[in-house]
């Protein structure tokens, strides 16, 4: 648990650094836009590729493949609940896609993997990555499409729907990097070391740049404007109550080994994805809402982790 809290403190420290550098006028809105483009189009795709080719082998992936059913179905069910909830509570159209994405998708690598390793050890890694595959596939396909629809200009284009537009939305650089990584891993071919080094150096900037952008947005928004409203509270409900309960409930229908279930529950109850504010900003969605939700989800995680461990373990 100490390791888990240290990981949370690292997140806050990098966000705070971005905040202070903005206050000192080292960073500004132009820098935030540059960082956003860099993450979305270069560092994040390379990070996705590296994660899939270096954290899995073909044999491990195929052996674990049968365990995909529970996280896959749980994410679908949680997403359907988010749709009903957002309609019932009248979430504005300008943040509905971001709301449903944050309600459903978790931060399964930067927060999820270290926390699971701190609690269960390295034996949890394959199961944590299994949930990560389903979570990331949802986030970078359905999630990105939903976030882009929060932009009023993109919503106007719905009337002129075409398969080409849909394909362009789904085949974002990040999801291409993810799927190329899966295909490469399935071939069982070794990734050349220069390619690993390049992807590691450049892709390794993803987390820091993403958190810097969050710090910039928080400074520009102002702490006094990071207010808990019904929509932010709804995101917290999805992240820390609905999502883990759905996984737990489905385990009676889709049984999995005890350790796998515990890892899935922990993965489902992680904070909002770090990349969400960057995606919201990049697609012209409500970046302030995304930043507020992410900030509150990280703060509240320090309390909810104890609740989750008490209830399910």
Total structural domains within the chain: 1
Sign, CA dihedral 225-226-228-234, equals positive
Length, in residues, of the chain? 313
Taking 60 as the threshold, does the pLDDT of residue 104 lie above it? yes
**Alpha-carbon distance values, 281 to 79, 88, 238, 266, 305 (Å):** 22, 26, 22, 28, 29
Summarised one tens digit per residue, pLDDT across range 250-275 is 999 999 989 999 999 999 999 898 78
pLDDT band at 169 (very low <50, low <70, confident <90, very high): low
Containing domain of residue 100, as a range? 1-312
Q: How far apart are CA 75 and CA 306, in angstroms?
A: 23
Q: Which residues of 72-100 are buried (b: 16+ CB within 10 A; e: fewer)?
A: bbbbebbbebbeebbeeeebeebbbbbbb
Tell me what pLDDT residue 148 has.
86
Q: Residue 161: what pLDDT?
A: 44
Query: In this predicted model, which residue has the larger pLDDT, 84 or 54?
Result: 84
pLDDT at residue 28 is higher than 70: yes
Please tell me the predicted confidence (pLDDT) of residue 252: 95
pLDDT number for residue 242: 96
Residue 55 sits in a domain whose CATH number is: 1.20.1530.20
DSSP-based three-state secondary structure for 277: helix
The pTM for the full model equals 0.76
- Please name the residues in contact with 299: beta carbons below 8 A apart, sequence gap of 6 or more: none
Q: Which two tokens stand for residue 128?
A: 């944590």
Residue 202 has pLDDT above 50, yes or no: yes
> Which of these ranges, 107-121, 147-161, 204-218, 257-271, has the smallest mean pLDDT?
147-161
Q: What is the pLDDT of residue 240?
A: 94
Specify burial of residue 225 (Cβ count, 10 A radius: 0-12, 13-18, 19+): exposed
Q: Name the least confident of 28-37, 50-59, 128-137.
A: 50-59
């Amino acid at each position: 648990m100490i390791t888990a809290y240290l990981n949370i403190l690292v997140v806050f420290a990098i966000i705070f650094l971005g905040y202070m550098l903005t206050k000192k006028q080292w960073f500004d809105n132009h820098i935030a836009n540059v960082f956003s483009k860099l993450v979305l189009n270069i560092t994040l795709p390379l990070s996705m590729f590296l994660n899939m080719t270096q954290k899995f082998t073909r044999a491990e992936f195929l052996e674990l493949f049968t365990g995909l059913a529970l996280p896959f179905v749980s994410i679908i069910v949680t997403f359907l609940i988010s749709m009903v909830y957002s309609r019932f509570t009248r979430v504005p159209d300008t943040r509905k896609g971001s709301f449903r994405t944050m309600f459903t998708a978790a931060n399964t690598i930067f927060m999820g993997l270290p926390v699971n390793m701190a609690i269960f050890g390295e034996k949890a890694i394959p199961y944590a990555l299994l949930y990560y595959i389903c979570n990331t596939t949802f986030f970078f396909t359905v999630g990105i499409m939903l976030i882009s629809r929060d932009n009023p200009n993109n919503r106007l284009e719905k009337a002129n729907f075409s398969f080409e537009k849909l394909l362009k939305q789904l085949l974002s650089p990040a999801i291409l990097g993810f799927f190329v990584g899966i295909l490469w891993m399935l071939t069982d071919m070794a990734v050349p070391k220069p390619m690993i080094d390049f992807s590691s150096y450049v892709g390794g900037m993803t987390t820091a740049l993403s958190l810097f952008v969050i710090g910039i947005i928080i400074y520009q928004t102002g702490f006094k404007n990071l207010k808990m409203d019904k929509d932010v509270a709804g995101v917290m409900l999805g992240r820390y109550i609905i999502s883990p309960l759905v996984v737990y409930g489905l385990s009676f229908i889709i049984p999995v080994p005890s350790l796998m279930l515990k890892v899935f529950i922990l993965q489902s109850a992680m904070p909002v994805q770090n990349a969400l504010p960057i995606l919201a900003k990049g697609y012209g969605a409500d970046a302030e809402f995304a930043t507020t939700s992410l900030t509150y989800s990280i703060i509240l995680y320090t309390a909810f982790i104890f609740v989750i461990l008490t209830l399910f373990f």
